[in-house]
Structure 1
Amino acid sequence: MAIEWLRDDYRVTTDIAEFDFDVVHRYLSEVAYWSPGISREKVERAARHSLAFGLFHRGVQIGYARAITDTVSFAYLADVFVLPEHQGNGLGVWLVRCVLTHPDLQGLRKMMLTTSSAHTLYARFGFAAPAEPAKLMEKRAAG
């Protein structure tokens, strides 16, 4: 069941049937530093297998976020963006707040994310550097 949040002329929804994947794919493949060249098929598949959030202004998609989660103990916050022409109005903060208040993300033991530029944004929600970074490991794709 989709959930939505309203604020003035803005709306966040988890109903991916409403998402404009042209907007989401264009941003993630052409603008975002973390996913250059990602295919549209992968963007849509990732949304279908995550808890995805679309941010809309008067019916036009202007932002996106998704939580990769088992809804019990862990979530990874990914692909958070607000289109540049809509930044500076607190919409990124609101989008993250909507994600964090989703009922399926309550009571988790841990939520993680990576960022190279938005530490201040996420710190206001309690995100911090890992307490035990030596325990973290990763496996990267070749190339």
Structure 2
Amino acid sequence: MPTTTPHDTTAYEVSDDPARLDVALIHHWLSTDAYWALGRPLATQQRAIAASHNFGAYLTASGRQVGYARVITDHATFAWLCDVYIDPAHRGRGLGGRLVDAVNAYLDPYELRRTMLATHDAHEVYRRAGFRELTRPDHLMQRGPH
């Protein structure tokens, strides 16, 4: 583990280069430790990555991936932020916020009407990035799970 201050911006970098993604590691993290994706099959994760714009957080010194986020969007009106995950050994250093900021910076030029996400336990991270609770949650519906 690097010796850094809690929000050391030089120890980590964020990139949306798909060639840098460690798909096996992402799958391991999500399918074994992320409450929303427990048991997700590798083939499903591969399809999700292929159909999304992906972001990784990496140790600057080694290039090893320590975080992940993806966004699904039509680039015109709507986006869904999902699968935000930070390796437990690197939590508490602002990486989740940096990933979300990178997603927001990527989406901002499109002037989307809405970007949404779902979270059980990271409301403060997302509030700092400009997300708010729904004013009319009764307007949302879902189909599934299947």
TM-score (norm 2): 0.87
How far the C-alpha of 1:84 sits from its partner, in A, is: 0.5
Aligned residue in 2 for 1:87: 91
* Amino acid in structure 1 at the alignment position of 2:10: D
Write out the 4+ residue segments of structure 1 that deviate beyond 3 Å after TM superposition.
Answer: 103-106
SS at match of 1:122: helix
How far the C-alpha of 1:65 sits from its partner, in A, is: 0.2
- Counterpart Cα distance in 1 of 2:109 and 2:46: 21
How far the C-alpha of 1:108 sits from its partner, in A, is: 0.5
SS at match of 2:72: strand
Q: CA RMSD in A?
A: 1.4
- Return 5+ residue gaps in structure 2 as ranges: 1-8
Aligned residue in 2 for 1:4: none
Q: How does 1:1-143 map to 2 (within 5 A)?
A: 7-57=9-59, 58-103=62-107, 106-142=110-146
Cα pair 2:97 2:129 within 8 Å, conserved: no
SS at match of 1:102: helix
Cα pair 1:71 1:105 within 8 Å, conserved: no
How far the C-alpha of 1:105 sits from its partner, in A, is: 5.9
* Amino acid in structure 2 at the alignment position of 1:122: Y
Identical aligned pairs, as a percentage? 40
How far the C-alpha of 1:9 sits from its partner, in A, is: 3.1
Cα pair 1:63 1:82 within 8 Å, conserved: yes
After superposition, give the CA deviation of every residue in 1:85-137 in whole Å (9 maximum; x if it has no partner). Answer: 00111111111111110157640000000000001111112211212112100
* Amino acid in structure 2 at the alignment position of 1:119: H
- Counterpart Cα distance in 2 of 1:67 and 1:105: 15
Q: How many residues align?
A: 136
SS at match of 2:135: coil
- Structure number with the bigger relative contact order (C-alpha 8 A, sep ≥ 6) is 2
- Counterpart Cα distance in 2 of 1:132 and 1:120: 20
- Counterpart Cα distance in 2 of 1:24 and 1:135: 33
